[in-house]
Each structure stands twice: as structure tokens, then as C-alpha cells.
Structure 1
């Protein structure tokens, strides 16, 4: 055999051997799957290289470990499974802009006392375009609406109409309809109701109620005096049948805060006469005497409406009597019957009075409302809702 023939024979043998080796390896990997260890993907991510195309399962698993700072993104069902981590900011605080300070009286721009997190109050009008809500006090709106924001309203922004006066004592203003999104006032059907006061359950063991020392039967403190007021007309009749102790600017006896509490607590009954009669218009004239251990004699909205806010056995309503004389007779009777009188304080074993914080509470509750109610709202018929019913 020649040299070239020998070389050709060796080549054929080598090729046959390689073929057999390949076949062997195919069979081996088909029926026996060795465990192959790859580098830890988490270690790779920690080194800061996120640009590779990586196994989807490993990436999602790692994202779950860091969910507080990264947003998980699903891989597309087709195409290259290349996923990038998406950084997301924490949701910003809800921002409420105080456009008009109620009666010019500023309050603390902090809602922590109400345990409202995520609410921020400001009076910086340069933040108008960022504000989620604009807080506007009715009595501080100019008649031509000229002091309201003039810039276009951002699509996400809501205007909050705030007012604690009754319809009788605040003017209708043209143009209010379709201008505000939300209302905040003493009315229960307001979007953000803030009554002048309310009763809350006693959360701890209550000491037996001790009646303050009483040296007066019926008292009244009043400054706003108009002969046409129903309360003035009722007073003029009532005083004919019972002795009344009167104070306030209307009687030339100004009362400061310290004397106010002292006078109220020293009276068995207090004339909680409102300056006008409207649904839910129940002011501090009722809640302050209750807090100080005095029985309020109320003139205002209906008894049923009062009982929506305070227990029916905690007050006396003038409508329960056909004449002021009959009311006077009832008060004189209770003056001589202590057991009967003390029943007006049974509620103190179950509740305590809390007053509202004018302005600050409205703003904080409005901010809280905006935080929880992001959908669109509007108050189309503000005039009809507040003044015309």
C-alpha cells in the first residue's frame, strides 16, 4: 500500500471515531442531565450591571426582594425578554392651598393632631399649579369674585368652599354655581362636614359627674341684637315670667373668656338661642354649656334635628312649650326638683363634648378628603343647596 493510501485510511478512521464520539455524547446528554452551576444572578445584579439580557425568572425573583424601591414589570409574551428595573417615587403628599384665611385669622398649617398623614397645608400662592385643592372662605370672597384665582385651574385640582355662618348671615354671590367642587361647613350633608361641636364616647372609666356650684337660674350672653330676631322676641316675653341674668355687648356687660366659663357653669340653665334657624345650625351656644355642666334651653332648628347631634334628654327645646310662660314654669319646677334636674346630665356617663377648631379642622379634613377621593366632583347648585332650601 502506498503512503497516500495509508493517510486516507487514517483520515477515514479518525472521522469514524469522531462520529461515534458525537453520537455517544448526544445519547449521554439525552438520558443523563448533569447539574450545571451558573453564577448567582443576584450577585451579578449587586455588582451594578443591569444591561445584560437575563433569565426572566431570576429578575422577577430579585425584584420581589426589593419591592420597596423597584417596580416589577412583566416580561412580554413574545420577543426578547429584556427587563429593566423601573424606579418609582413615593406618592407625593396631598397639597391644600389656603387661598383666603377665614376672617384673616391664621392657624397652624399642621394636621398631625388629627393623625392625618400625607396631608400638607400651605398659603404659598406660587404653588397654585401644584395644589390638589384650593381652600376658600366664603365671607372673604369679594362680591365680584375678583380675589379668586385667575390662572386656569389644573385638571386635577378641586376648589373647596368653606363657611360656618348660616344662610341668613352670609350673602349670596353671583357666579358661585359651577365654580366649586366641594363644600365644607356645619351642614351634615356637606362634602366635608365640620359641626361646631360633637359628642364622642368616653374611652375610660368616668368619675361620677359633679355639678358645679349654681347661684343663678337662667343666664344669657348675647352681643348680636336685632329686634326682628326670633330669639330677641322670645326673650322679651320670657323675662316677664322668670328672672334672667343677662350679659354681653347687647347689655353693656362685655364678657372675656375666663368670665364666660365662670358665668356659664354658675347657671342652672342657659339660653342657647341661635341668631337664625336653619338645618344643622347648632353652634357653640349649645356645646359650651353642656361641657361646663349647664342645661341648654335651645331655640333654633327643630327638636328632631337637635337630636341628630345631641341626646334628647340633655336639653330643653322652646318648641316643647306652647308659650314662653309655660317654659318659665317648667324651669322654676326643675329648680325645686334636683333629682329631676340631674337627669339632664345622664349623658355625661357615656359621652364627652369636643368642639371644632375653626379653620384648621376644616382645612385638614378637606386635605384628608382630597387624599382619599381623587375622582372628579362638582357642586353645581351651591346657591340652591345652601340658600334656597
Structure 2
């Protein structure tokens, strides 16, 4: 191991799992990553996954050490991210918000759109016009009500762990199978679990990568994150509750 190689410690888990150190992209600057809490005093930086904030209490901050608040989850679902008393413990904030010290968006890699727009559009072979993937029960955006209302008028094939009405046919190879499934439909319901500026997740990008039109409910500034214009179509019930528009991107 090279001498004086900075040590970065993940103190908390990522939800119920230890952070997968092998999945971290290579840095231009050589560092060492660890999940070993016994090395806390050696670490130059300590990263805390904010949704697991209950695991932070027994950490001790050493002089000169940088503490990093890390989250890709919506501030609506985890309001502790907006709590000054909690956030004052951290030197660096790393989230999806563009104003973070370290911006960590859901955007695919550089040049992704050039690749996507030159791919052939898959044939739309399913009978239902729209598809939806959902595994979380989080529903701060009102997406459950939207799907229930829409399903009274058109067929929507729903996949995932949360209230599915269709199952993946054949082996499930993860992201590849998800994109192939979405690509068989003309439209994909891209419904975020909550409404917050900058919170634009794979819900938006997966349909574009699959060659399918996303019908988007989420961040009011979502159009900033995609290379096409947004056409807003405010749902009648949304007007009554002053919700953000449903948009076809």
C-alpha cells in the first residue's frame, strides 16, 4: 500500500447493507476505503449515509477530520437533511441537490444521451399503453392516487415489489431486464416518491434509455436535467390540490 494514502471510512450502512467498497469508481487520487469502524481515528474523512442517521450517535469526531453527510434520498422523505441542529455536525454535504458541496445526481454518465438517441426504438408489443415500476411504498408525491385514477381509463402494467399486476417473464437480470421491459411499451409512468427540486431519479432516465416516453411526476425543475423540452399537462385533480404538473418529456 502506498505510504500516506488517505483513509475514508463509511461509518453507517447503506440502508440494511454495508457499503460495497468494490463498487466505488476509481479515484484519480489514490485513497483507501473502509467499513471498519475500529479505524475511525485514522480516517481523514468519515461518510455517514443520512437515511441511517440513527447509527451516527456513537461516532466520535477527531481533530482535523472531515465528516460527510451523504444521501441520494429526497429531503421530503428524510427531513433531517433540513434540520440545522443535525446538519451542523458535518463539514461536507453530498446529495442530489445542485447546491450541495458535492453534487451527486442520478444523471447517467457523460455522453449517455448521444448513445441513447442513436439506438433503434424497440417495437411496442404490449397491449397496455403504459408501464410502471415501483418497489417502495413511499408516496409523498401522490403517485398511488394518480395510478389508481389513470387505471380507470387505460391499462397500466405495474411491475416491482409494490402492488404489481404483472410479473417479469423469464429470468430477471436486473437493470437490463427492466429496460427491456419498459422498451416494450409506448409510455412509462415515471413517478417520483416525493416532490422536491433537483430530485430527478432513474424514474426519468430509465424510460429514455429504453426508447419509451416518460410521463413524469416529480421535481418542478425536471426539464433542466433532460435534453428535451417538457410539455406540462396538468391533471384536473392536480389543479384542485395545487400539485406539480404531470409532464410528458
What's the TM-score once normalised by structure 1's chain length? 0.51
Distance 1:262 1:215, change over 3 A: same
Distance 1:213 1:252, change over 3 A: closer
Q: What pairs with 1:186-201 in structure 2 (closer than 5 Å)?
A: 186-198=96-108, 200-201=110-111
The CA RMSD measured in Å over matched residues stands at 3.3
In 2, the alpha carbon distance for the partners of 1:291 and 1:135 equals: 31
The equivalent position to 1:251 in structure 2, one of 164, 167, 188, is 164
Tell me the residue number matched to 1:131: 43
Cα deviation per residue 1:132-181 (whole Å; 9 max; x = unaligned)? 100111122228x53x313xx33211100111211232253874132111
In 2, the alpha carbon distance for the partners of 1:221 and 1:158 equals: 38
In 1, the alpha carbon distance for the partners of 2:64 and 2:36 equals: 18
Structure ranking higher on relative contact order (CA contacts 8 Å, 6+ apart): 1
Q: Is the 8 A contact 1:99 1:123 kept in 2?
A: yes
Tell me the residue number matched to 1:210: 120
For structure 2, the residue ranges without an aligned partner over 5 or more in a row are 238-248
Distance 1:223 1:124, change over 3 A: closer
Tell me the residue number matched to 2:213: 295
Distance 1:203 1:264, change over 3 A: closer
The equivalent position to 2:67 in structure 1, one of 159, 168, 171, is 159
Tell me the residue number matched to 1:114: 26
Q: Is the 8 A contact 1:269 1:294 kept in 2?
A: yes
Tell me the residue number matched to 2:90: 180
Whether 1:168 and 2:76 are equivalent positions in the alignment is: yes
Tell me the residue number matched to 2:203: 285
Shift of 1:205: 9.1
Larger radius of gyration: 1
Q: Is the 8 A contact 1:135 1:159 kept in 2?
A: yes
In 1, the alpha carbon distance for the partners of 2:180 and 2:115 equals: 26
In 2, the alpha carbon distance for the partners of 1:263 and 1:203 equals: 20
In 1, the alpha carbon distance for the partners of 2:23 and 2:132 equals: 36
What's the TM-score once normalised by structure 2's chain length? 0.76
Local SS of the residue matching 1:172: helix
Cα deviation per residue 1:90-124 (whole Å; 9 max; x = unaligned)? 9822221111121224312575x434222221122
Distance 1:236 1:136, change over 3 A: same
Shift of 1:280: 0.8
Whether 1:266 and 2:184 are equivalent positions in the alignment is: yes
In 2, the alpha carbon distance for the partners of 1:191 and 1:309 equals: 19
In 2, the alpha carbon distance for the partners of 1:191 and 1:93 equals: 23
For structure 1, the residue ranges without an aligned partner over 5 or more in a row are 1-89, 326-343, 345-389
Distance 1:290 1:205, change over 3 A: closer
Q: Is the 8 A contact 2:71 2:95 kept in 1?
A: yes
In 1, the alpha carbon distance for the partners of 2:113 and 2:8 equals: 32
Distance 1:205 1:242, change over 3 A: closer
In 2, the alpha carbon distance for the partners of 1:121 and 1:185 equals: 19
Local SS of the residue matching 1:136: strand
In 2, the alpha carbon distance for the partners of 1:128 and 1:227 equals: 37
Distance 1:211 1:324, change over 3 A: farther
In 2, the alpha carbon distance for the partners of 1:204 and 1:270 equals: 21
